[in-house]
């Protein structure tokens, strides 16, 4: 398929791998990827095995499902128990554990939970079920935020009154800053997320190069993209800057129209991340003029941004999300915690680091 096959060319992969080995002049280099699709494809294509041993790729908090707090899931579960509520959600959220149970387990009992592909599908569910209240679980990073904002605008235009959004939308650059400050990680640079950057633009990471002296490269998701991204990081490691490898999709300033739509509906707020705690200005809340769609206001819930502890089962997801542990270093990994019986969110989501390690290692 166009724009996929040519970026998987074996000869070019071998060539890049050789150039990376030449460019890696020092040992103990730590790069973090903060996109679950990067983590997934690095392991799926065995790209880490093509790197010299001195380069370590650390998986960061790149999966919105994994960083959703227990508190958020508990609120979704509370609403799911109401007889007149239908929960509409992306499929990955079903199995994420709250403090007692998950949406999947509740669905098997009485809860009405529908899996949708797009926030626009939730509008259709609302139109088809006028006597029910539809709650869409609005989870995602900047890639997904404009799609949810446009759905809210569409619902307003169509005067839909039985659709509400429970928001745990998050912004990636503030989380990267939190990680850049963590000296334990000894980061040298970031492989920046391609599709988040399609919306926010490559220049959104400039502060990481200027303030924290970290090399940053926005990269696409095919093997050649990821390897070229790592090559650029190595080549420019001593001259912190933002490099854009994924220029076929990402521009310096991003998709301005998408950004306008985002901030028409949402305002920046502090937000709780599973494993990382509350990060200032790292989340989005629905603006007052759209409060008729805000589940927290309509159902009188506490703001869903409080961090909560891990379940008492020795789950190490919080350290995995921070990049302090690799998944196999968790005592539960592949023993008690597996994709068929996940104990933590990083094993549940397809984009979770534990899930990717389990599948491909």
Partner 1 sequence: MCLAIPMKVKVIEGEFAEVETGRLTRKVNVQMLGGLKAGDYVIVHAGFAIQKIDARKAKETLDIIEELDPSHP
Contacts with partner 1, residue ranges (CB under 8 A)? 1-4, 6-7, 12, 15-16, 18-19, 22, 35-37, 63-65, 90, 92, 117-121, 139-141, 143-144, 146-147, 150, 193-196, 198-199, 224-225, 228, 231, 235, 245, 247-250, 255, 257-258, 261, 349, 351
CB of 186 to partner 1, least distance (A): 26
Judged by beta carbon, residue 19 or residue 132, the one nearer partner 1 is 19
CB of 32 to partner 1, least distance (A): 16
Q: Please tell me the distance from the alpha carbon of residue 156 to that of residue 107, in angstroms, as a whole number.
A: 29
Q: Please tell me the distance from the alpha carbon of residue 217 to that of residue 113, in angstroms, as a whole number.
A: 39
Judged by beta carbon, residue 71 or residue 351, the one nearer partner 1 is 351
CB of 183 to partner 1, least distance (A): 28
Judged by beta carbon, residue 20 or residue 276, the one nearer partner 1 is 20
Judged by beta carbon, residue 320 or residue 332, the one nearer partner 1 is 320
CB of 100 to partner 1, least distance (A): 24
Q: Under DSSP, is residue 283 helix (H, G, I), strand (E, B) or coil?
A: strand
CB of 195 to partner 1, least distance (A): 4
Judged by beta carbon, residue 117 or residue 302, the one nearer partner 1 is 117
Judged by beta carbon, residue 22 or residue 81, the one nearer partner 1 is 22
- Give the other-Cβ count within 10 Å of 279's Cβ: 22
- Rounded to 10°, the helix 10-23/223-235 angle is 20
Report DSSP letters for 5-31, one per residue.
GGGG-HHHHHHHHHHHHHH--SS-EEE
Beta carbons of 205 and 192 less than 8 angstroms apart: yes
CB of 235 to partner 1, least distance (A): 7
Tell me which residue has tokens 């009154």: 161
Residue 50 CA, distance from chain mean position: 25
CB of 44 to partner 1, least distance (A): 12
Beta carbons of 323 and 6 less than 8 angstroms apart: no
CB of 210 to partner 1, least distance (A): 25
Tell me which residue has tokens 């088809």: 128
Tell me which residue has tokens 């933590």: 344
Judged by beta carbon, residue 4 or residue 300, the one nearer partner 1 is 4
Judged by beta carbon, residue 276 or residue 332, the one nearer partner 1 is 276
Tell me which residue has tokens 């929960």: 87
* Three-class SS of 126-158: HHHCCCCEEEEEEEECCCCHHHHHHHHHHHHHC
Q: Under DSSP, is residue 240 helix (H, G, I), strand (E, B) or coil?
A: coil
């Amino acid at each position: 398929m166009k724009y996929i096959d040519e970026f998987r060319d074996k000869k070019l992969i071998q060539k890049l791998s050789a150039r990376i080995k030449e460019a890696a002049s020092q040992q103990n280099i730590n790069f973090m990827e903060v996109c679950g699709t990067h983590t997934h494809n690095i392991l799926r294509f065995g790209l880490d095995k093509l790197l010299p041993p001195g380069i370590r790729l650390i998986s960061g908090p790149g999966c919105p499902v994994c960083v959703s707090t227990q508190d958020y899931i508990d609120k979704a579960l509370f609403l799911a128990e109401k007889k007149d509520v239908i929960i509409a959600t992306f499929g990955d959220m079903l199995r994420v554990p709250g403090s007692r149970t998950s949406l999947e387990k509740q669905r098997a009992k009485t809860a009405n939970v529908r899996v949708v592909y797009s926030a626009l599908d939730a509008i259709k569910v609302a139109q088809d079920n006028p006597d029910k209240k539809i709650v869409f679980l609005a989870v995602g990073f900047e890639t997904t935020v404009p799609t949810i904002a446009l759905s809210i605008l569409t619902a307003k235009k169509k005067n839909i009154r039985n659709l509400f959004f429970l928001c745990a939308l998050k912004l990636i650059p503030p989380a990267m800053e939190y990680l850049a400050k963590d000296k334990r990680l000894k980061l040298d640079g970031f492989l920046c997320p391609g599709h988040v950057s399609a919306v926010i633009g490559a220049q959104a990471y400039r502060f990481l190069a200027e303030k924290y002296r970290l090399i940053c490269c926005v990269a696409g998701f095919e093997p050649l993209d990821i390897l070229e991204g790592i090559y650029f990081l190595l080549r420019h490691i001593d001259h912190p800057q933002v490099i854009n490898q994924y220029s076929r999709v990402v521009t310096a300033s991003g998709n301005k129209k998408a950004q306008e739509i985002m901030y028409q509906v949402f305002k920046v707020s502090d937000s709780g991340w599973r494993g990382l705690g509350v990060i200032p200005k790292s989340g989005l809340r629905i603006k007052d003029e759209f409060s008729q769609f805000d589940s927290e206001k309509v159902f009188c819930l506490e703001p869903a941004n409080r961090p909560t502890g891990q379940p008492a089962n020795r789950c190490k997801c919080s350290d995995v999300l921070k990049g302090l542990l690799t998944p196999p270093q968790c005592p539960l990994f592949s023993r008690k915690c597996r994709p068929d019986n996940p104990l933590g969110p990083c094993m549940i989501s397809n984009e979770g680091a534990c899930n990717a390690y389990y599948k491909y290692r």
